[in-house]
Amino acid sequence: MQKTDGLFLKCCREVAEKYPEIKYEEVVIDNCCMMLVKNPALFDVLVMPNLYGDIISDLCAGLIGGLGLTPSCNIGEGGIALAEAVHGSAPDIAGKNMANPTALLLSAVTMLRHLELHDKADRIQDAILKTIAEGKYRTADLGGSSTTTDFTKAICDHL
């Protein structure tokens, strides 16, 4: 891993030199994990190779309640974006009306923000947060017994 990490760091350093107004700091992965758990607000953006990114993203998902709450948006050159839930397809619960739709809905919110439709993104995000905060409708992963349908309807009722 020393060679691949070395190449990655070399590339990061080269890019950082081109943008001196952006703070660039190198942190060893195990220390990064500790820092994230202690104070996630220390970081604005994390850049790392795929393996470390997978580990860190799961750790961060745990900090907010799990993969069922975690959105994702990959943005490439030219602004092309792909928004998706982090958790994957969850085939073990497919068709059982028990999946938590929050990650997928928040991924849509992220896409709306990318498209600069902030008012629409805010409305959906607020409806999700109100539904979770009320506690009346929660899927099993959030400690409740609501179905996907009931949880989603409760969110829609807040729109």
Residue 119: pLDDT above 70? Answer: yes
85 and 129 belong to one structural domain: yes
132 and 74 belong to one structural domain: yes
**pLDDT-above-90 percentage for the chain:** 86
77 and 138 belong to one structural domain: yes
84 and 154 belong to one structural domain: yes
Residue 15: pLDDT above 80? Answer: yes
125 and 150 belong to one structural domain: yes
Q: Please state, rounded to an integer, the average pLDDT across all residues of the chain.
A: 93
51 and 105 belong to one structural domain: no
Coil/strand/helix, residue 96: coil
- The per-residue pLDDT for range 66-94, each reduced to its tens digit, is 888 999 999 999 999 999 988 877 889 99
pLDDT of residue 42: 95
Task: Say which residues have a Cβ less than 8 Å from residue 90's Cβ, sequence separation at least 6.
Answer: 99
CB–CB of 142/100 below 8 Å? yes
List the domain range (segments joined by +) for residue 50.
1-64
pLDDT of residue 67: 87
pTM: 0.81
114 versus 90: which is more confidently predicted?
Answer: 114
113 and 126 belong to one structural domain: yes
Q: What is the count of structural domains for the chain? A: 2
150 and 103 belong to one structural domain: yes
